[in-house]
Chains A and B, each alone.
Chain A
Amino acid sequence: MNTISTICAASMLLMATAARADYAAPRTAAGEPDLQGVWTNATITPVERMNFFPQLVLTKPQADMLEQRTREFAERGSAPTDPDAPPPEAGDDVGGYNSFWIDAGTTVALVNGEYRSSLITSPADGKLPYTPAAQAKRVQLLMSIRDGLDGPEQRPLGERCLVGFGSTSGPPMLPVLYNNNYQIVQAPGSVMILAEMNHDARIVRIGGEHPPTDVRTWMGDSIGHWEGDTLVVETTNFHPAQSMRACIRYQIYMSANATVTERFTRVAHDQILYQFTVDDAEAFSEPWSGEIPMRASEGPIYEYACHEGNYSLPGILAGARREARTTDEGAE
């Protein structure tokens, strides 16, 4: 890189930093920083670091290449099918549905002017620092999802429409394949965060205290306070059934005794910087942290009335019953 371009790059970085430092978030009627609106955390940056990009920060050409690949795959998914194509093959992966149903983001996460290779910023390698016991527990829980077909209670929470799948409603709130949209509403003493999944609304009590540890709720218990213009939210008292946060993009195990600290800072009129740390000595050898840009979304939030149309759950259980009958008949 020559001197001029170095100076230009340094100037742009300074300008980007200055823009954030100079930005003053609008205020609510109560005088608090205004985080309200509809936001999206959709991004192609994965939660954990990609092996072939060991550094947290990608170069612009690397980020451009990843976004170009994403566009190419989307175009391929939208391409016409050969009208004379046969049915899919028996014994193949059943797949799911066409890509037009998916909305997982098209851009690399851009934080403080840096293109990120992972949402995790710490540990330095960008990987989840599981203890061996927690890794074993994680595998056991994944296998129980595969094999637990006796009744609805054994099925994952997302499949039962109790909580959004993966860690979409969190905390920490991590993007999944679609509906990566959130609405924030502030009222005196409260901040409400609604995920576009299963009507998951988290009420953060400003200045509140956690209930006794035997009170366990979906998405845990969230209390918050303001540090300057940053909303700091601390969540504990997770429900044990929410320890497995599984989706296609990641399968994260956290113990019910984890503490998650989130920081919401409005860094521009169209962006909130979302930072989080998971403190969970039962599952991880050290705390892990991440950063995700929450960009202004073209609202509104749409309803996700999951129970009403959940034909999948009875279908899955009925399928298991039929498989058992077939196995029994084969044995006789």
Chain B
Amino acid sequence: MKFTDRKLPTLIVLALGILVVPTATFAHHAFTAEFDGDAPVLLRGKVTRVEWINPHAWVHLDAVQEDGTTVAWMVEGGTPNTLLRAGINKNSLVPGTEIVVRGYQSKDHACTPSCKANGRDVTFPDGRKIFMGSSGTGAPRDGADPREPPRT
């Protein structure tokens, strides 16, 4: 196959397990098992605290509703170990910081003590990602998620 083949970049992405969209569908667990694909969320609000824990960090925020009241949400991230290696630590995202979250609500729809969502895309209000500096590769939607029909 020649390098000029238009399909090549996509094939490479699928083969190497590299990022297509800035998400990882299955790492420590299957995200499709935990989050509801029919319940997308767009949250805006201030960080209240960050749990720098494994296997996944959680960013807590008070999401502002249309009527001005707030609802407590917690948003799932990845392992903090990667961030530590990239020079990011628990002082890098402090309470009071305004963030925007695009993701999906947890399948249990439980909101005690907080509603839960995955952090498919977590940014500052101007669109910049809240963290930078990773060597950054991710996961494609290539059927490798065991919630999807397996490759045979």
B147/A102 in contact, CB under 8 A? no
B37/A102 in contact, CB under 8 A? no
Cα–Cα, bound, A146→B31 (Å): 11
User: Given A77, A87, A93, A159, which contacts B136 in the complex, CB threshold below 8 Å?
Assistant: A77
Chain B CB within 8 A of A90 CB? yes
Interface members, chain B 1-36 (any A CB < 8 Å): 1, 3, 8-9, 11-13, 15-36
Chain B CB within 8 A of A303 CB? yes
Chain A CB within 8 A of B72 CB? no
* A-B contact list, 17 entries, CB within 8 Å: A45-B16, A69-B13, A80-B129, A81-B100, A83-B126, A96-B26, A98-B77, A100-B83, A146-B33, A159-B28, A177-B139, A247-B26, A248-B24, A248-B27, A306-B55, A311-B76, A316-B30
Chain B CB within 8 A of A309 CB? yes
> Which residues of A sit under 8 angstroms from B26, Cβ to Cβ?
96, 246-248
Closest B residue by C-beta to A177: B27
Which chain B residues have a beta carbon within 8 Å of chain A's beta carbons? Answer: 1, 3, 8-9, 11-13, 15-42, 51, 53-58, 76-86, 100, 102-104, 106-110, 116, 118-123, 125-142, 144-148, 150-152
For A, the interface residue count at a CB cutoff of 8 angstroms equals 86
Chain B CB within 8 A of A270 CB? no
Interface members, chain A 136-170 (any B CB < 8 Å): 138-139, 142-143, 145-146, 149, 156, 158-159, 161, 165
Knowing A93-B32, A102-B138, say if A87 contacts B42 (CB, 8 Å). Answer: yes
> Which residues of B sit under 8 angstroms from A70, Cβ to Cβ?
16, 18, 137
B119/A98 in contact, CB under 8 A? yes
Interface members, chain A 47-72 (any B CB < 8 Å): 50-52, 65-66, 69-70
> Which residues of B sit under 8 angstroms from A46, Cβ to Cβ?
15-17
Chain B CB within 8 A of A220 CB? no
Cα–Cα, bound, A286→B8 (Å): 31
Which chain A residues have a beta carbon within 8 Å of chain B's beta carbons? Answer: 44-46, 50-52, 65-66, 69-70, 73-78, 80-83, 85-106, 135, 138-139, 142-143, 145-146, 149, 156, 158-159, 161, 165, 176-179, 196, 246-251, 298, 302-306, 308-313, 315-316, 318-323
A98/B22 in contact, CB under 8 A? yes
Knowing A70-B137, A309-B56, say if A96 contacts B18 (CB, 8 Å). Answer: no
Known: A95-B118, A96-B23, A146-B147. 9 other contacts (CB 8 A): A70-B18, A88-B121, A93-B37, A96-B118, A100-B83, A176-B27, A251-B146, A306-B54, A316-B30
> Which residues of B sit under 8 angstroms from A77, Cβ to Cβ?
19, 22, 136-138
